[in-house]
Amino acid sequence: MVSIYSGNADARMKRLERNVEEIVTREELERALAAGQLKLRAYVGFEPSGSVHIGHLPLITKLKELQALGFHIIVLLADVHAYLNEKGDFEHIRETADYNRRCFSAAGLGDETEYILGSSFQLDADYMLDVLRLATLTTEKRARRSMDELSRSKEDRKVSQMLYPLMQVMDIAYLNIDVAVGGIDQRKIHMLARESLPKLGFKPPICIHTPLLIGLDGAKMSSSLGNYISVHEPEEEIERKLKAAFCPPRVVTDNPMLQLYKYLLFEAADANNGLTIERKPEYGGDVTYHSYEHFERDYQLGKLHPQDVKQNAIRYLNELLAPVRKRLGVPKTF
């Protein structure tokens, strides 16, 4: 494995900054990488509540990059959080957690990845006391702002959903995390951790936030809407969903098909061979792109038709997910 401390520092940072919304802060991460004394610990917290899908792949890709650079990767399977968020009883939640773990592994995280169940430490007296200590420092308004969007939108919120973000903050402390990784929707919780943990005697985390992919219909990606593709989706289902996906001509903003190319397909493409859009000769013939930017520009100019974009995405996404399906087998539907 390549050491995080070898090679050009600028090249390492460029790799970590690629396809992320933000790093808080870049300067802190540069200093941590330069110190080179202890293996840095990065984590993602994952609520076991449903299918692992392509919307999670940018996050998994960033974890794989960190792992290749020498980070120790921890995946917290937050079963207690799922219980507080009314995602079922513990037996069902832990069954889902095992499925999530297998998905992360099948998607390419190394065998050295550490998977931790939240209940293995979140019910300990010291942990709960620190959650209560944090509660004395956190206003109700601040905690509410840190809740997920669905919980905030409810008129009759449960107290358990208010505890949820406080526990996420303490998870970072108790797992001794240097770098917290998450979607941009985790920003408010991560900022609460950066503000609050030093007051309790813990170090603040550096944060890396990845983008959120929109659903195939152009709306927010949601399990209830079924507008996503699971990492174990059969080939014929991927074809059906992508053919029906929202992909307006020349529109590059909030276009789920272009997001698919930017954050997944170009990431997986061989840098030397690029990514080829196969077309019939009468429609311009094959064209190869070595950067997403060139691909996006041609789409915006109308040089690429949505149907060609979709048809080639079917091929490339199936190639990307084929080894995941093979490693995972055919899992129970969650």
**Residue found by looking up tokens 């998870």 in the block:** 171
Q: Which of the following CATH numbers is that of domain 9-210: 3.40.50.620, 3.40.50.720, 3.30.1360.30, 3.40.50.10420?
A: 3.40.50.620
Q: What percentage of the chain has pLDDT greater than the value 70?
A: 92
Rounded-to-integer distance, Cα 42 and Cα 208, Å? 10
Q: Select from 227, 233, 232 the least CA-distant residue to 214.
A: 227
Rounded-to-integer distance, Cα 334 and Cα 325, Å? 15
5 CB-contact burial (10 Å; exposed 0-12 / middle 13-18 / buried 19+)? middle
What are the residue ranges spanned by the domains of the chain? 9-210, 235-328
Each residue's pLDDT tens digit, 155-194 = 666 787 788 899 999 999 999 999 999 999 999 999 999 9
Q: Select from 292, 241, 247 the least CA-distant residue to 267.
A: 292
Structure letter (DSSP) for residue 233: -
Contact present, 116 and 45 (Cβ < 8 Å): no
Tell me which H or E stretch contains 185.
Answer: none
Query: Residue 325: pLDDT above 50?
Result: yes
Q: Select from 212, 213, 263, 198 the least CA-distant residue to 18.
A: 263
Supply the pLDDT for residue 5.
Answer: 44
Q: Is pLDDT larger for residue 13 or for residue 42?
A: 42
Rounded-to-integer distance, Cα 79 and Cα 117, Å? 6
**Could you tell me the pTM of the whole model?**
0.90
Rounded-to-integer distance, Cα 96 and Cα 218, Å? 27
Average confidence (pLDDT) over 12-35: 89
Rounded to the nearest 10°, the torsion over CA 57, 60, 66, 69 is -80
Each residue's pLDDT tens digit, 190-235 = 999 999 999 999 999 999 999 999 999 999 887 777 899 999 999 9
CATH number of 235-328: 1.10.240.10
Rounded-to-integer distance, Cα 42 and Cα 285, Å? 45
Q: Tokens standing for 33?
A: 């990488």
Q: What angle do CA 147, 149, 155 make, to 5 degrees?
A: 85
Structure letter (DSSP) for residue 255: -
Each residue's pLDDT tens digit, 131-157 = 999 999 988 888 777 766 545 445 666
